[in-house]
Structure 1
Amino acid sequence: MADHPQLLSGKFTQNFTASSAKSMWKELESELNSMAGAKKDWQQWRKSWHDMKTKVKSKNAKIKNHRRGTGGGAPLGDVLTNWEESIFNLIQCLRKLTFRD
């Protein structure tokens, strides 16, 4: 996804249309399906990416909110895994780029 920042954002522009997004997802489909593991069509890979992004953002928010708490409870055992940290960093990089433009 780091090589496809337009797909990462999911926002269409004059230069990045639904058809160009579809062709990028189809390229990713062939790359991902050539690896060991799950075999999916481009729509399923897009859904998987969306689900992963949502899960990571939600988990990070939960951790962040717990840290802001006043204490008194048990420490939160949740931490982002290396994989989730990578996804979260991609999302953060995109935000920084978006706000600069």
Structure 2
Amino acid sequence: MYLDTSNVQSLKEKLLLCAVNEFAEYGYEGARVDNIVKAAECSKQTVYHHFGNKENLFIEVLEYTWNDIRQKERPLISQIFRHRKPLRK
């Protein structure tokens, strides 16, 4: 397991995090919706209600992951630039 889902309040968010784990482990082709719903403790119908299909779920996973990376890199980038000396003309 890559992301901890034990403290997640929303079922949709829990599904998303379980999907992140599944896709990270098996890739798009190897990932199984059955494994995602088992980890999230819900039905397949719930996945299709929230995401429509496996492809849309994967796109949501990519967007979630991208946003998570961007959020975590902002403080690092600002820290790097804070210590740089300004360029002189």
TM-score range, shorter chain: 0.3 to 0.5
TM-score w.r.t. length of structure 2: 0.47
